[in-house]
Amino acid sequence: MVGSPVPVLASTPFLRIARALLVLSAALCVASVARTALGIGDARVAEVIYNLAIVSACATWCLRSVVPDPAHGAFVCGSIGSALWLAGGIVTWFDGNDPAFSLADVLMFGINPLICLGLFFYGRSAVPRPIAASRWVDALLSAFTVGAVGAALVIEGALASVADATVTAAVYPTGTVALAACAVGLLALRGWAFDRRFALIVAGAAALATTEILYRRAQVDNVTAEFGTFYDVGWMLGALLMALAAWQPQRPLPVEPRRTEIVVPIVLGAIALTVLIVEGAEHSSSALTITLSGLAVATLLARMALSLNLNYRLLLHSRREAITDSVTGLGNGRRLVADLERLGGARATLVLLDLNGFKAYNDTFGHLAGDQMLERIGGALDAGAGEEGRAYRMGGDEFCVLLPADAATSPAALAAGAAQRGEGFDVTAAFGAVALPEEATSATDALRLADERMYAHKRDGGSRGQPVVEALLELIQQHDPELLRRADAIARAER
């Protein structure tokens, strides 16, 4: 089962160490909030709390990467990313924080790509195979829409600051938007289904992305954001949530489709269309935003085409099931009534057959063997009907064959071909044939006359087929009540 829980988490001693580290990280987050809100200590104290929280998160990720898990690659990427984060923090501690560009930025530029790669490895283990085409399209739609919104609200302003040599103000938000697009795209591949692990991943990514965007936009506005602000809390909270997600067991995804798989793509498409319209109405529109929102709208159209095609195939499948016998694969009574009505005035022969000895065979050898015999008899009748004819199973041990006027097979030959003999059983078929339209001009008359002739042919004179004929007459009553009333009136007049 994809996404089954990993039992090693319940027994490993690493789990107790990880819990202690997570409690420490949570305590440091609370301390940072209290310090910032109450103004206790200076920026150096805030930096110490921040770096300790990152050390704790890094240790938690490194510890997790040595525990077996289907998503092991994701934890390795998280460990490397947190190590780069820690290294960047150490460089900042000694060299200070240059808002334009620093060695710490060189190290931290790799964090977002590593998280995206980790999401890829996580998706390989957490998304069941095969992945439906509609979910791939939903993932593209999600990524394009998030990218369009991010380009309009974040990246445009960040890119404008590159001229002022604030390279980090452009690179970090761009990487953050790409991370958000990957996370939402992975959620689409999962059918918009959350478990505890993925919910924490999304919450952690959202905390990191929001904090990063606000921090870099402050840089664009020439607002200095040193340690000791609520930006620290946002980054620490994101690191804590991501580390906590790493230690959650992986749960199986729901099998049944969810309503969100219909609603969310519509909402995303509406957002992308809104961005496209608003951005297109501006004189200084961004080519990146226009391109991404246009791709999102095009992907939405592709998603609609897939949905229409799927609904059409489901409709055909439902209709085929409604007129097909599940045991033999032949047409059922509904199919026979429809085919009789489509004949018009064309000449054909209707042959109704009832098996003799099948009930004893079914009771002796079991229902599975009985179904296998029905399948063999249905295949023999279908082969005997030829390319222009058609065989039907009416229910129970009743069959029917519609032969074209020039059929080489006679009703008697059909009955003989349906016979099944072996050690301990002898199953034969009684039949009644009606020439259409010479002997009957309606489906009702044809079925009644064939039923009478079939039971005149049966050796014991029983009437086991009468319920099936009555069921067919009920189908005709539902489909064309006037036809049945006319047939009854004619029958009474003849009597």
- What is the three-state SS of the chain? CCCCCCCHHHHCCHHHHHHHHHHHHHHHHHHHHHHHHHCCCCHHHHHHHHHHHHHHHHHHHHHHHCCCCCCHHHHHHHHHHHHHHHHHHHHHHHHCCCCCCCHHHHHHCCHHHHHHHHHHHHHHHHCCCCCCHHHHHHHHHHHHHHHHHHHHHHHHHHHHHHHHCCHHHHHHHHHHHHHHHHHHHHHHHCCCCCCHHHHHHHHHHHHHHHHHHHHHHHHHCCCCCCCCCHHHHHHHHHHHHHHHHHCCCCCCCCCCCCCHHHHHHHHHHHHHHHHHHHHHHCCCCCHHHHHHHHHHHHHHHHHHHHHHHHHHHHHHHHHHHHCECCCCCCECHHHHHHHHHHCCCCCEEEEEEEEECHHHHHHHHCHHHHHHHHHHHHHHHHHHHCCCCEEEEEECCEEEEEEECCCCCCHHHHHHHHCEEECCEEEEEEEEEEEECCCCCCHHHHHHHHHHHHHHHCCCCCCCCHHHHHHHHHHHHHHCHHHHHHHHHHHHHHC
Which pTM was predicted? 0.69
Percent of the chain at pLDDT > 90 equals 33
Q: What is the mean pLDDT of residues 240-265?
A: 84
Of 179, 234, 243, 230, whose CA–CA distance to 210 is shortest?
A: 234
Q: Which residues contact 337 (CB under 8 A, 6 or more apart)?
A: 443, 472, 475, 476, 479
Average pLDDT over residues 398-411: 90
Q: What is the pLDDT of residue 176?
A: 84
pLDDT > 70 in the chain, percent: 83
pLDDT at 101: 64
Look at 90-104, 253-267, 352-366 and tell me which has the smallest mean pLDDT.
90-104
Encode pLDDT of 113-136 as tens digits: 898 899 898 888 888 888 889 999
Burial level of 71, CB count in 10 A (0-12/13-18/19+)?
Answer: buried
* pLDDT reading at 465 higher than 50: no
Confidence of residue 97 (pLDDT cuts 50, 70, 90): low
Whether residue 6 has pLDDT greater than 50: no
- Tell me the per-residue pLDDT of 262-290, one tens digit each, with 9 for 90 and over: 899 999 999 999 999 988 887 667 788 99
pLDDT score of 463? 40
Query: 209-218, 242-251, 387-396, 474-483 — which one is most confidently predicted on average?
Result: 387-396
Average pLDDT over residues 379-388: 92
| Distance from C-alpha of 440 to C-alpha of 369, rounded to nearest angstrom | 37
The per-residue pLDDT of the chain, averaged, comes to 83
The pLDDT tens digits of the residues spanning 158-202 come to 666 555 445 666 777 788 888 889 989 999 998 888 888 889 988
Q: Tokens 């000791």 map to which residue?
A: 228
What is the model's pLDDT at position 350?
A: 94
Rounded to 5°, angle at Cα 222 from 220 and 223: 105
pLDDT, residue 39, reads 81
Q: Indicate the pLDDT class of residue 295, thresholds 50, 70 and 90.
A: very high
Answer with the residue of higher pLDDT: 223 or 383.
Answer: 383
pLDDT band at 464 (very low <50, low <70, confident <90, very high): very low
